[in-house]
Structure 1
Amino acid sequence: MAAHWFGARLVERRAQTATGRTLVLDVPGWPGHLPGQHVDVRLTADDGYQAVRSYSLAAPADGERVELGVQAVRDGEVSPYLADVLPTGARVELRGPLGQWFVWRTGQSGPVLLVAGGSGVVPVTAMLRAHRAARSDSAFSLLYSVRDPDEIWYREELAAPDDRLDVRVLYTRRAPRGEVRPPGRIAAADLGPAPAGPGTVYVCGPTGFVESVADLLVGLGRPAADIRTERFG
């Protein structure tokens, strides 16, 4: 079924980092979505000018309520407005759900490795939340690369104990006191050896990050067909 435009109303905004925001919207008639999918958001000015940008869904389907992750981009046309200016109760348009490849389904078997860079953690968090809600037996691991501790999204949620989820945060510029791994870009040693059996890897983040991680994974013996990527920037 082709995606079409829905009217949406902003009901809540939550800060994640200095420039990252969670937007919660009510979307009457929303058909639901899969963890990992995204939407287009359209804003229309009083003079009729329109701007459209894509944003990832941060939570599994929940009736007509949709949660997005928005990273404000310096000098951006849309993201700073959505992040800090759009008033609660304001209306926008959403088109979706979009994307069928970068998704996790509760019936999937085998271990899952999630690799996220910066705000690329948004769609994989939808997968984590769906995995938790479904009480899936699939082993989940998250490698989350950020520049410094201040840029971690969903800090408390990712730090909460969960015996079905292994989370490791990697720092590229500044690590917190006591961190054993020195700051630096993600490397083959961080990704570890490929598993003996089948599994799926989801990689999301800036284009350069995604391409580097995908190359490292293939070099470690991961079949390219098992690596699903979503990139931005």
Structure 2
Amino acid sequence: MTTEWRAARCVAARPETATARTVRLKVDGVGAVVPGQHIDIRLTADDGYQAVRSYSLSATPSGSPAGAGIPRLAPDEVEITVEELPDGEVSPYLVQGLEVGDEVEVRGPIGGWFVWRDTDPGPVQLIGGGSGVAPLLAILRARLASGSDSPMRLLYSVRSPEQVYFRDEIAGLAEGAEPGDARGVSVDVAYTRSAPPDWPRQPGRLTAADVAALVQRPSAGAIYVCGPNGFVQHVTDLLLAHGHSPESIRTERFGGV
């Protein structure tokens, strides 16, 4: 990790939803990057006013996005996926204003707890709410690219099909995650407001029944939970009530703009 601010250049960008965008940044001297980490981004206005926000990495050199026409990340590149917030100071620029070739200041990567390494033992459960799926997909991408055989499950809670991040990649993983899948991955999507026709689960918040059916058993391994403050607290309460130990639960929450 570095605490110094450095220039990072936007080398690519693509939309994820109507209000979210993935940005690829080239950061000279970025060093070792671990899936699950985040970076700080600083913007400086003409009058000297500065705004700083933290964004989880959605892709790292150890786990590039899977998609037609999307090149692998270079060793000095990372990706962030940003949801535009109406009253935000930084997110509107990153989603609407930042163009390929533009520079921003970054600090990081930061974080050593909410991370996954291919040497980590045991099964892993990932639970994300909305844009909180970003660092979890970075972990899942790295797992699929590694030689690890640790089972990994993703439970993604999102309002509607239109708001699913990484839609094609998530759909491909979900369709291919059958019992006995040699990749050792499983993906489930739980919609809270509206679901596709004939979806097996009715829309609504995650429940105790969902935890029992879609989350690995207590004591199986680490659980990573990421999303808005209320979502993370709700899921943590469900996990604890189901018998998961506090020590097994790693959380990353957000609530700023």
Amino acid at match of 1:153: Y
Partner of 1:188: 208
Partner of 1:32: 32
% identity of equivalent residues = 53
- Aligned pairs (5 A) from 1:77-92: 77-92=89-104
CA contact (8 A) 1:117 1:204 kept: yes
SS in 2 for 1:228: strand
The partner residue of 2:241 within 214, 219, 224 is 219
Amino acid at match of 2:206: I
Task: Please give the alpha-carbon distance, in whole angstroms, between the structure 1 residues aligned to 2:135 and 2:149.
Answer: 20
Amino acid at match of 2:109: P
Task: Please give the alpha-carbon distance, in whole angstroms, between the structure 1 residues aligned to 2:83 and 2:38.
Answer: 14
* TM-score relative to the length of structure 1: 0.96
Cα distance change on mapping 1:149 and 1:194 into 2, 3 Å: closer
Amino acid at match of 2:161: P
Task: Please give the alpha-carbon distance, in whole angstroms, between the structure 1 residues aligned to 2:229 and 2:120.
Answer: 26
Partner of 1:202: 224
* Length, aligned pairs only: 233
The partner residue of 1:104 within 112, 116, 121 is 116
1:60 is displaced (CA, Å) by 2.3
1:196 is displaced (CA, Å) by 5.7
Partner of 2:169: 157
- Residues 125-149 of structure 1, C-alpha deviations (whole Å, 9 max, x = no match): 1100110110311111111000000
1:198 is displaced (CA, Å) by 3.5
SS in 2 for 1:4: coil
CA contact (8 A) 1:6 1:30 kept: no
Structure 2: runs of 5+ lacking an equivalent: 62-73
Structure 2 residue 41 is matched with structure 1 residue 41? yes
For the aligned residues, what is the CA RMSD?
Answer: 1.4
1:26 is displaced (CA, Å) by 0.9
- Residues 137-162 of structure 1, C-alpha deviations (whole Å, 9 max, x = no match): 11111110000000101111122225
* TM-score relative to the length of structure 2: 0.87
Task: Please give the alpha-carbon distance, in whole angstroms, between the structure 1 residues aligned to 2:218 and 2:136.
Answer: 23
Structure 1: runs of 5+ lacking an equivalent: none
Cα distance change on mapping 1:196 and 1:8 into 2, 3 Å: closer
- Aligned pairs (5 A) from 1:1-12: 2-12=2-12
